[in-house]
Amino acid sequence: MTGRVVRRSREHRSRRRAGRAGGQGLRCTAAVALLLAVVLTACQSSSGNAQDKKLPAASVNQVDPATLADGGTLRWGINELPAQWNPHHANGNLATVQTVMGALLPSPWRTGSDADSAPDPDYVEDVDVRTDPRQVVTLRLNPKARWSNGDPITWRDYAAMAEALSGRDPEFQVAGQTGYDRISSVRAGRDRFEVVVAFSKPFADYASLFRLLLPAAYTEDAERFNSGYLDRIPVTAGPFGSAKFDRTAKSIAVARSADWWGDRARLDRIVFRAMAPEALEAAFLDGGVDLAPLPVDSAAAKRVDKAADGEVRAARAPDFRHLTLNGESPLLSDVDVRHAVFLGVNRRAVAESAFSGLDWRPEPTDHHFLLPGQDGYTDNSGKWGAYDPEKAREVLEGAGWRAAGDGEPRRKGGKELRLRFTIPQGFAPAQSEAELVQSMLAEIGVAVRIDSVPRDALFADHILPGDYDMVALVSNGSGFPVSQFLQQWSTPLKAENGDEQWRANVGRIGSPAIDAAMDEALGSLDPEAALASINDADRLLWDTGHTLPLYQRPELVATRTGLANVGAPGFADIDYAAIGYPRGG
Amino acid sequence: MARFLVRRLAGHAVLVLVASSLAYLLAAAVLDPRGNYEGRQPPPPPEVVDAVLTESNLNDDAPLAQRYAVWASGVLCGDLGRTWDGREVGAEMARRVGVNLRLMSIGLVAGSVAGVALGAWAGLRRGRGADRLLTLWSYTVISVPTVVLAAALQACALWLNSAAGADLLRATGEYTPGLDAGMWGSAADRARHLLLPSLALALPQIAVHSRYQRELIAEAAGADFVRTARAKGLTLRAALRRHALRTTLGPSVTLFGYSFAALFTGTVFVEQVFGWHGVGGLLIDAIAEGDVNVVAAVCTFGALCVSVAGLLADTARGLLDPRVRT
């Protein structure tokens, strides 16, 4: 679930849930439910020392699976029942698909809560990496591993998937090609259970590849790649299998695989059940689901915690919120103005406001690639990270922006220093965040106008065309930070007509030096050297005033008390076979 | 009579055609299915996005007229097109309509019958305590938005469950997916799920229908045929009960028909609060996902429902009143 993979950001998911017409009503539903809950639990005592606990990297109630009960059903609340279950298809690149398919498909590597990856012995016995003369990764496959149709998992499955995802055949509707475009060949080693992957360019994030492997029969042919897993899950190879859909209830049930060769799964069955986010909490409280993602909302967390058989697992989500500045907007194209904004925003105050009401201390972040706790995480912000309105004023003066008296924005050559902060309509946390930034920047003589736009227009009409000054977004971190952020921080592609295509780099700032540092990191198989290059790139991003990281977000999950080895996993991949209930419970 | 019905049928057919075409054109002009791929990290290759959109006739690079022609020719052959992620819209619609039928039938029928009965009862007791109480209650229910009512019922059920220490009522879902409890067990499971949403739908129906019926009875009290009946020695209440009640049922049935049709796409709050996956939720999701074909399908279905209800009402009126047939 981490990996190179490309999770649709949470913001984006919620964006999909609440559209132009429906959004108001649904938010109204949530507000009413909240109001009622507040009224009905009016006499509950308020918890005293808020924001005193540090959020852990993961909260999954880790227990030795051997001590858990054998059997049981887990009803797992999800937000949607997608149609496309091929996680590598452009339509299947969804968090829900990753959650479900993680129980059903092989991944040669598994990521831990420290974001480091290790081979998963259920599928891969040994990994050998050579770099001379070119990078070659050799996987020794577990010969016991089989697809649900009885075929063994062999090098052919790897070869066919590498070819499909390389982007060489445009008929394959792939979600992305990062990494696969650097593979020159995949062939058999001494037998069919040895996979030799040769790279044309070094690729340090090789452990992000081949996750959620599909059988060759579904990756050799574009038609089967595009529609073989459409509304069905024909072949699996995991601790769970035989997926059964109930499209009326929008649920999908997977059963413990009888022919699983690894440690026997503790649960008999997992039923993934889709509901609107507003209904999921009620479903958890009435026993309809045993596990449900919660909104970052102190009231919801308290209601779940109060339930007799429920608890909230909270961890640092593997993502961070940041303030993106448009480097091509008329006023922010000046790096000094961007740096003044960096200095003028009190990031700690923004983070504390976002965590208000929660019992956990916010975690401000200083990095464009790594999250606190990840190997190599350092503060590269230099002069631009600390809140210093006095210095911000100096920077603006130095750039020729003269103070124009009390409450008035600074001026330069007849222009006023007025910026737009574009936010999605009807999302209260974004509104209060923008107001906070507005009041902070007013202190340094920068006027901010808050532009709230319809949610589905935010990306299409404002961010992607570059019609904005400031916007707050969420980016997913990962154990493969360079693969993850490569497009977000690189210089634009040149289109055939000469236009610059910034694509994922919505801040529209880039430099050959940043590109080179990221390329260096991506090609460096020595972890120390790679981290040094990542930090070089991060330092350059701070220096050029590209995107102000704000804070790492919390992830809250409601679970049944005692349910083990699942919850808020942070960076970690869930071991579905280990999920279970305590004995005698 | 036949000519009258054919004329009506043709009128309704044109209405549905125009309404659905307008819905499609509006949706296709305004919604942006490309947005599903924007903001992803990293974004899929642009040529892949184009290919996927083109497959579902959603690519805004194609002229609107061309997309409309593809859509309309499909619809005329019974093919409602595909969702943005490749599902058959027709099959999804059929499933959702089934959910709505099961969700609404009991609540609306029971609510309407109870409303008419209560309204008639109150109409016979105008001005008395019971009538005033019912009036107060009706106006309260009518003025509470459905979403509040639904959320309140849900909160009550959760409180009841925790007070009883057992899951008496289910506050979310149509049934427990994957439950293996035999026919009676499944029926009981469905009943536990159905009670709350049925109440949420029935209470406003009772309130509205009772008001309506009460006024109809009140009006009838001054009608000539009731006066005649009274002149023959019946008491007012006996006259109303024996003669006025039947004649006032006609308008109530019409009201029921139209409200049933309108609610098919209007139960969205009840669906969302109680976690049922019906037509309303489909429309909400489709708008959020820029799913033009689905939005058009739901609007077409809505137009169809209203037309069918109208047609049935026309038929009933035609049968009852010879004057409208000409």
Task: Tell me what ipTM this predicted complex has.
Answer: 0.87
Nearest CA in chain B to A34: B151
Q: In the predicted model, what is the mean pLDDT of residues A261-272? A: 95
**What's the confidence (pLDDT) of residue A23?**
35
Q: A173–B48: do the CB atoms touch at under 8 Å?
A: yes
Q: A174–B45: do the CB atoms touch at under 8 Å?
A: yes
CA-CA distance, B78 to A26, in Å (whole number)?
32
Among residues of chain A, what percentage have pLDDT more than 90? 72
Alpha helices in chain B (DSSP H): 2-30, 46-55, 64-76, 89-123, 129-143, 146-164, 182-221, 224-231, 236-239, 245-264, 268-274, 279-288, 292-320
Question: What would the two tokens of residue B267 be?
Answer: 């139960």
Contact A2, A574 (CB under 8 A): no
**What's the confidence (pLDDT) of residue B167?**
76
Phi, psi angles (nearest 5°) of residue A291? -150, 130
CA-CA distance, B3 to A247, in Å (whole number)?
43
Task: Confirm or reject contact between B202 and chain A (CB < 8 A).
Answer: no
Which residues 27-46 of chain B have a CB within 8 Å of chain A? 31-32, 34-45
**What's the confidence (pLDDT) of residue A228?**
96
User: Exposed/middle/buried for A454, CB within 10 Å: 0-12, 13-18, 19+?
Assistant: middle
Task: Confirm or reject contact between B272 and chain A (CB < 8 A).
Answer: yes
Owner of token pair 């330092």 = A539
Nearest CA in chain B to A506: B39
pLDDT grade, residue A52 (50/70/90)?
low
User: Exposed/middle/buried for A195, CB within 10 Å: 0-12, 13-18, 19+?
Assistant: buried
**What's the confidence (pLDDT) of residue A28?**
45
Q: In the predicted model, what is the mean pLDDT of residues A195-219? A: 95
CA-CA distance, B8 to B259, in Å (whole number)?
20
Q: B173–A288: do the CB atoms touch at under 8 Å?
A: yes
pLDDT grade, residue A359 (50/70/90)?
confident
Among A406, A386, A409, A405, residue whose Cα is nearest residue A339: A386
In sequence order, what are the residues at sequence separation of 6 or more whose Cβ sits closer than 8 angstroms to the Cβ of residue A66? Answer: none
Among A317, A321, A291, residue whose Cα is nearest residue A581: A291
Q: Name the residue facing B52 among A19, A90, A285 (closest C-beta).
A: A90
pLDDT grade, residue B258 (50/70/90)?
confident
Question: Is the confidence at residue A429, as pLDDT, over 50?
Answer: yes
**What's the confidence (pLDDT) of residue A42?**
39
Question: Is the confidence at residue A102, as pLDDT, over 90?
Answer: yes
Q: B171–A460: do the CB atoms touch at under 8 Å?
A: no
For residue A411, list its beta bridge partners: A402, A416
pLDDT grade, residue B246 (50/70/90)?
confident
Alpha helices in A444-526 (DSSP H): 455-457, 481-489, 512-523
pLDDT grade, residue B322 (50/70/90)?
low
Q: Is B88 helix (H, G, I), strand (E, B) or coil?
A: strand
**Helices (runs of H) and strands (runs of E) counted in chain A:** 15, 23
In sequence order, what are the residues at sequence separation of 6 or more whose Cβ sits closer than 8 angstroms to the Cβ of residue B39? Answer: A8, A9, A11, A12, A15, A459, A463, A473
Task: Confirm or reject contact between B180 and chain A (CB < 8 A).
Answer: no
CA-CA distance, B95 to A248, in Å (whole number)?
6
Question: Domain A318-553, CATH 3.10.105.10 — does that match?
Answer: yes
pLDDT grade, residue A41 (50/70/90)?
very low
For residue B81, the distance in angstroms to the closest alpha carbon of chain A comes to: 15
Q: Is B25 helix (H, G, I), strand (E, B) or coil?
A: helix
Q: A286–B155: do the CB atoms touch at under 8 Å?
A: no
Nearest CA in chain A to B295: A21
B103-290 maps to which CATH number?
1.10.3720
Region for A297 from its dihedrals, namely left if φ exceeds 0, alpha if ψ lies in -120 to 50, beta otherwise: beta
- The residue extents of the domains of chain B are 103-290
Question: What would the two tokens of residue B103 be?
Answer: 């969700």
Contact B87, B55 (CB under 8 A): no
CA-CA distance, A297 to B99, in Å (whole number)?
31
Q: Name the residue facing B178 among A253, A456, A460 (closest C-beta).
A: A253
For residue A33, the distance in angstroms to the closest alpha carbon of chain B comes to: 6
For residue A500, the distance in angstroms to the closest alpha carbon of chain B comes to: 14
Q: In the predicted model, what is the mean pLDDT of residues B271-286? A: 91
**What's the confidence (pLDDT) of residue A313?**
94
For residue B28, the distance in angstroms to the closest alpha carbon of chain A comes to: 14
Residues in chain B: 326
**What's the confidence (pLDDT) of residue A9?**
36
User: Exposed/middle/buried for A398, CB within 10 Å: 0-12, 13-18, 19+?
Assistant: exposed
Alpha helices in A369-511 (DSSP H): 389-398, 428-443, 455-457, 481-489
Nearest CA in chain A to B151: A33
For residue B269, the distance in angstroms to the closest alpha carbon of chain A comes to: 8
Strands A117-119 and A124-130: unpaired
Q: Specify the DSSP class assigned to residue A59.
A: B
**What's the confidence (pLDDT) of residue A51?**
53
Task: Confirm or reject contact between B103 and chain A (CB < 8 A).
Answer: no
Chain A residues within 8 A of B95 when measuring between CB atoms: 247-248
Count residue pairs from A and B with Cβ separation < 8 A: 212
Q: In the predicted model, what is the mean pLDDT of residues A296-325? A: 89
In sequence order, what are the residues at sequence separation of 6 or more whose Cβ sits closer than 8 angstroms to the Cβ of residue B7? Answer: none
**What's the confidence (pLDDT) of residue B265?**
61
Q: B173–A283: do the CB atoms touch at under 8 Å?
A: yes
CA-CA distance, B107 to B90, in Å (whole number)?
26
- The residue extents of the domains of chain A are 318-553
Q: B48–A279: do the CB atoms touch at under 8 Å?
A: no
